[in-house]
Amino acid sequence: MTDFYNLVPSAPEGRFDGIERPYSPDDVKRLRGSVQIRQSLAEMGANRLWKLIHEEDFVNALGAMSGNQAMQQVR
């Protein structure tokens, strides 16, 4: 394994095999930006959904609870 695997720990094994780089892992670290990329809207939506699913009581208003109720909704 090369040092590039340490830069991208989520990379699958063999991802960087056979790739020649004219730069070192230290160059990559030095040139990386200091700002962390965050998908804030997606993260907020996911956290809200998690909270709704796990902390709030559910509402039995979105579907039939019995076969008879389903027949009544069709009419």
Buried b (16+ CB within 10 A) or exposed e, 57-66: eeeeeeeeee
Which domain range does residue 17 map to? Answer: 4-57
HSE of 23, CA atoms in CB hemisphere, 13 A: 8
pLDDT of residue 62: 62
Is 64 part of any domain? no
Q: Is residue 62 part of a domain?
A: no
Would 41 be classed as within a structural domain? yes
Three-state DSSP class for residue 42 = helix
Number of domains in the chain: 1
Contacts of 21 (CB under 8 A, 6+ apart): 4
pLDDT in tens, 31-74: 888 887 778 898 888 889 888 888 877 666 667 778 888 888 88
